[in-house]
Amino acid sequence: MATPRTTTMRRQGDNAVKDLTIVICSYNYERFLREAIDSALAQAPERTRVIVIDDGSTDGSRAIIASYGERIVPVLKENGGQASAYNLGLELVDTEYITYLDSDDVLYDGAIDQALAAFERGGYAKVQFRLSVIDGDSRPTGAYVPNSTPPADCAALLRRGWLYPSPPASGNVYRASALRRILPLPKPKGRGIAADFFAIYGVALLGPVHAIDTPLGGYRVHRVASESEPGDAPKVGLSIANCQDIDEVIRSFPHRWNALRELVGERLGEQLPEHAIDFAYEKAVLCANAYDAPFSQRCHWLAFESGRYFRSIVSNPFWSAKKKLMAIALTLACVAPSRRMSDHAIRYIANPLARRPLPAGGRQA
């Protein structure tokens, strides 16, 4: 073994110099893993290396990885969480650029070509691209993330506490030298650390960010969003994330922001604000207080507890005036006397899947 936690790493294909490494972080996703690897291998093979880090899977993932032979670089390790996979991936990379692909997501044809072309046009620390939300069968849902485009200078706003619109992990390509100033991440204490949060926001303090609005990958949603009555169509729930529900967002976000502040202070000598401003977090708080709640409770939240929420709308530097007005109108609908109408408005605010077109012959809760 190369280290106590990894197997010996084999070189992928020929020894030609590559420009970018795709690091696939895999844990117990055998159902989706092959599609992720195939999508990575299809990306500019003359310029790209593919490393697959298996974080102690107990399903059939390792057999799938072995089936690719020398087309990929397999790294097998004991389970240590996302942060350990991110740290190890960057340690193994010898290319100028790196992207982390979740093993249940996919890259679309030409994604890496477009990202590399953007890097070559400017001195970016990160290039990001929009992701299409897909279901467990790889069918597009009609939703996309993110829904807004950030400015190139995300750092100025981040220093004021604003988290800029970014796709999840698989939609971000980093300049490796910039990322090495943020990673490796410390061993998580208490609640698990989401490594992509630190990479996405930390690297923005080290150079401009370029955003490609074209969907160049698929972000997979494959868990059941909410329970339905027998015989009914599935209801659209409050969260599109596979690992986080609304309560988890509320619990974890302050912890992650504080950990990012500490990391940035130690590594970059910068002091970020004590509190972050993020609509995703504030809408989670709205949901926790108003979803499926009595009319009196919703009115109390609006009258006494909604200040930070409305600030995240009215002062939002990434939104147009039209979008702000629509968000305010939808929020006011959340306190309609009808709980059914209120819950429908909250779902629309909370979850992009609630805004998708109805399937033929189907209905939306």
What's the burial of 58, exposed, middle or buried (CB within 10 Å: 0-12/13-18/19+)? exposed
Mean pLDDT of 23-46: 96
The mean pLDDT of 21-26, rounded to a whole number, is: 97
CATH 3.90.550.10 region(s) of the chain?
20-220
In Å, how far are 16, 151, 227, 282, 361 from 277, measured between CA atoms? 45, 16, 31, 8, 40
Band of residue 251 on the pLDDT scale cut at 50, 70, 90 = confident
4 vs 175, more confident = 175
The per-residue pLDDT for 248 is: 77
Average pLDDT in the chain: 87
> Which of 280, 287, 285 has the alpha carbon at shortest distance from 345?
287
| Confidence class for position 64, pLDDT limits 50, 70, 90 | very high
Residues 150-181 pLDDT 10s: 998 999 999 999 999 999 999 999 999 999 99
Q: What is the pLDDT of residue 348?
A: 87
Burial 122-131 (b: 16+ CB within 10 A, else e): eebbbbbbbb
What is 20-220's CATH topology? Spore Coat Polysaccharide Biosynthesis Protein SpsA; Chain A (3.90.550)
Instruction: State the DSSP H helix or E strand holding residue 74, giving kind and residue range, or none if neither.
Output: strand 73-77
Residue 236 near residue 343, CB atoms below 8 Å = no
Full-model pTM: 0.88
Q: State the average pLDDT over residues 249-278.
A: 93
Q: Sign of torsion, CA 114 116 122 127?
A: positive
Identify the residue with better confidence: 142 or 359: 142
Burial group, residue 250, by CB count within 10 angstroms (0-12, 13-18, 19+): middle
Output the pLDDT for position 238: 66
At 29 the pLDDT is 95
The helix-helix angle for 321-333 and 307-314 (nearest 10°) equals 150
Cα separation, 135 vs 279, in Å, equals 24
> What is the rounded CA–CA span in Å between residue 217 and residue 129?
8
Residue 360 has pLDDT above 60, yes or no: no
